[in-house]
Chains A and B, each alone.
Chain A
Amino acid sequence: MHILIHEDEIAYLSGRDGTVAIAKTKGAFFYLETESEETVLFTEPEDLMVASSWDVGERVMRGLACTIYQLRELGAPLIVLPKGHPASVRLKTVVSIGARTRLDCGIVPGTHPEQSVLCACDEFHEMEVLAVPGGAEILGDGNVEKEFNITVQKL
Chain B
Amino acid sequence: MSHEAFVLQSNLHNSARNPPFLPVFPPFLYTQKCHKGSGGESEMCTVGGGPDIGDIESLVAKDYECLDCKNKFKGMGRRPMCPSCKSRNVKAV
Contact = CB atoms under 8 A, between A and B. Distances in A.
B31 A119 contact: no
Interface string A113-152: 1010101111000000000000000000000000000000
A32 interface: yes
A39 B56 contact: yes
Contact of B47 (A34, A53, A55, A107): A107
Say whether chain A's binding surface is mostly helix, strand, loop, or mixed.
Answer: loop
A145 B25 CA distance: 33
Contact of B34 (A43, A54, A83): A54
Chain B residues touching A, range: 35 or more
Say whether chain B's binding surface is mostly helix, strand, loop, or mixed.
Answer: loop
Given A80-B53, A85-B50, A44 B78 contact: yes
Contact of A107 (B4, B45, B83): B45
Given A17-B36, A38-B73, A80-B56, A89 B44 contact: yes
7 contacts: A34-B57, A39-B76, A40-B76, A42-B78, A84-B50, A86-B7, A108-B31
Interface of A: 17, 27, 29, 31-32, 34, 37-44, 53-55, 80-81, 83-89, 91-92, 94, 105-110, 112-113, 115, 117, 119-122
Interface of B: 3-4, 6-7, 10, 25, 30-34, 36, 42-59, 61, 73-81, 83
